[in-house]
Amino acid sequence: MFMIERGKISSIQMAVMMNPTILATVLMLVPAITAKHAKQDLWLSPIWASVTGFIIVYIAYRFHKLYPKETLIQFSELILGKVIGKIIAASYLLFYMHITGIITREYGEFVSGTFLHLTPMVVVLGSMVMVSAFAVYGGLEVIGRCAEIIVPVVTLLYLTIFVLLFKDLDMSHMFPILENGLAPSLLGSIVPQCWFSEYFLISFFLPYLTDQEKGLKWGMISVFSVMLIMVITNIMTLLLLGKLNSVVTYPVMIAARYISIADFFEHLEAVVMAIWVAGAFVKITVFYYVLVLGMAQWLKLKDFRPLVLPTGVLLVIIGQWSASSLQELSQFLSSTATFYVLSFQLGLPIILLLIALIKNRSKQMKGK
């Protein structure tokens, strides 16, 4: 089968790309949403939620073993037939277009709500989509190299913020652990599961790995590292803010404002802003690329690049229309989005994989 993307990345680059793809938005919004349910046990919720991530990486890898040169858009037709497969693939493309628009809006709400109050939302969204479009136009190798440069710097800055907060932490906020049993932390893990389910995106990258046999290993390592950073983030915001964690919208931003060393080293909100913008750039670019590549495969084009600009315009429009305010967006992410996202990134893949395995088994039986 003809490969639209001629670039290649390593499995380590894929893992590095996926880290900000999950973490960029989850670290800002989800600690507050999780705290409403899990309270002082919110640090446990990412551990339970990561199980979904491990399952999805395994599902994506099983698809890759069955269809090594095809992405989701292509093997849907091989599993379900041309007509039904095309419909399922189209529904995934519409889903990813909507989700990418929402991610763009999350970025826009943070930037305009905390820093650029008077800048029109369309300008904030358009500028980020335009920068992402350049990376997407460059292809998978360019995105992989961008992530390799950005992610280590962002991770170091993020961990530095937490080190500087140590003196303000209060361990008493963590107790009593499991006061009401496992139920609150399990309930708090439902929303983070939506973010872990985004690991299904690796089904678009596995065919383009230089070391495909290591795809499963590095996918699992990526899930574990994301879970670890989420646990650290939740513990830090809990020990710093206590019960206020569930009230504030961006706990990490509030945490950065606490930092004050010798009345000189303070006001580190700009560092959080830099972390957010860099992480959001990688996340939007990865989703944007998957969407454009998938559309080109669905339309059976020889090149995805002519679709980059018109898709970018659509993403800005969807981002502008997806929610009227941050409150509406948060309400969607903490309620309806759970069923919506998990249906496409966990439910449907399980059904598709079962059908594929049954078809494969029946072919083997006939061969005998």
DSSP string, 95-121: HHHHHHHHHHHHHHHHHHHHT-TTS-H
Is residue 18 over pLDDT 80? yes
C-alpha dihedral sign at 221, 60, 73, 48:
negative
Give SS3 for 89.
helix
Mean pLDDT in residue range 347-359? 91
**Lowest mean pLDDT segment, chosen from 117-131, 214-228, 260-274, 301-315:** 260-274
Domain carrying residue 352? 11-363
**Comparing 88 with 237, which gets the higher pLDDT?**
88
CATH number for the domain spanning 270: value is: 1.20.1740.10
Q: Has residue 145 been placed in a domain?
A: yes
Q: Has residue 21 been placed in a domain?
A: yes
How does residue 315 score in pLDDT terms, banded at 50, 70 and 90? very high
Q: Give whichever of 71-75, 159-163, 239-243, 289-293 has the largest mean pLDDT.
A: 289-293
Q: Has residue 368 been placed in a domain?
A: no
* Those residues with Cβ within 8 angstroms of residue 60's Cβ, 6 or more apart along the chain or in another chain: 199, 200, 202, 203, 206, 219, 349
How does residue 267 score in pLDDT terms, banded at 50, 70 and 90? low
Structure tokens at 117: 């109050």
Is residue 114 over pLDDT 80? no
Cis peptide before 349 (omega within 30 of 0): no
Q: What is the pTM of this model?
A: 0.90
Mean pLDDT in residue range 90-113? 90
Q: Has residue 1 been placed in a domain?
A: no
Is residue 242 over pLDDT 80? no
Is residue 273 over pLDDT 50? yes
CA distance 319 to 100: 8
Write out pLDDT tens, residues 164-179. Answer: 777 777 787 777 887 7
Q: Has residue 3 been placed in a domain?
A: no
**Lowest mean pLDDT segment, chosen from 121-130, 173-182, 308-317, 341-350:** 173-182
How much is the pLDDT for 277? Answer: 86
Q: Has residue 315 been placed in a domain?
A: yes
How much is the pLDDT for 264? Answer: 63
Question: Domain count of the chain?
Answer: 1
Report the share of the chain in percent with pLDDT over 90: 38
Is residue 142 over pLDDT 50? yes
Mean pLDDT in residue range 122-151? 91
Q: Give whichever of 90-99, 240-249, 250-259 has the largest mean pLDDT.
A: 90-99
The gap from C-alpha 106 to its chain's centroid, in whole angstroms, comes to 12
Mean pLDDT in residue range 62-68? 91
Q: Has residue 135 been placed in a domain?
A: yes
Mean pLDDT in residue range 251-266? 70
Q: What is the mean pLDDT of the chain?
A: 86
**Lowest mean pLDDT segment, chosen from 25-39, 60-74, 118-132, 336-350:** 25-39
How much is the pLDDT for 1? Answer: 44
CA distance 141 to 167: 42
Is residue 309 over pLDDT 90? yes
